[in-house]
Amino acid sequence: DAGVIQSPRHEVTEMGQEVTLRCKPISGHNSLFWYRQTMMRGLELLIYFNNNVPIDDSGMPEDRFSAKMPNASFSTLKIQPSEPRDSAVYFCASSLRLAGGWDTQYFGPGTRLTVL
């Protein structure tokens, strides 16, 4: 099992540029989560999907952020335009949601984003 795969692992960009982060969940998992981690704000849930449908996007900071999940094996998080305050580590996680069950979330290695 390859685990959750994220790309790129590191991204350095200039303010105003578009940034796209990618995630491949564990095969067979049906829930996918995007988190942002910073020293100041800790680990924040941005958005999550179940069966490719966005369920809760209340953590998305503003309209500059958007996320898609076109199929069960791929998701993107896009920031346009990027700003220096978006600098953070972005984690993708996936889990297998069963009816009536609690599900372990498995995290990817993260993408370290630096916006200059």
8 A C-beta contact, residue 92 and residue 31: no
Task: Please give the Cα distance from 90 to 76 (Å, whole number).
Answer: 11
Task: Please give the Cα distance from 100 to 66 (Å, whole number).
Answer: 30
**Residue 37 half-sphere exposure, CB side, CA atoms within 13 Å?**
13
Among residues 5, 22, 45, 114, the one that binds other proteins under rule CB under 8 A: 45
Binding flag, residue 114, other proteins (CB under 8 A): no
Among residues 7, 78, 109, 114, the one that binds other proteins under rule CB under 8 A: 109
Give the shortest CB-60-to-other proteins separation in angstroms.
14
Binding flag, residue 108, other proteins (CB under 8 A): yes
Task: Please give the Cα distance from 5 to 15 (Å, whole number).
Answer: 26
Task: Please give the Cα distance from 58 to 96 (Å, whole number).
Answer: 22
Among residues 43, 80, 83, 84, the one that binds other proteins under rule CB under 8 A: 43
Give the shortest CB-110-to-other proteins separation in angstroms.
6
Binding flag, residue 12, other proteins (CB under 8 A): no
Contact track, other proteins, 55-94, x by CB under 8 A? xx----------------------------------x---
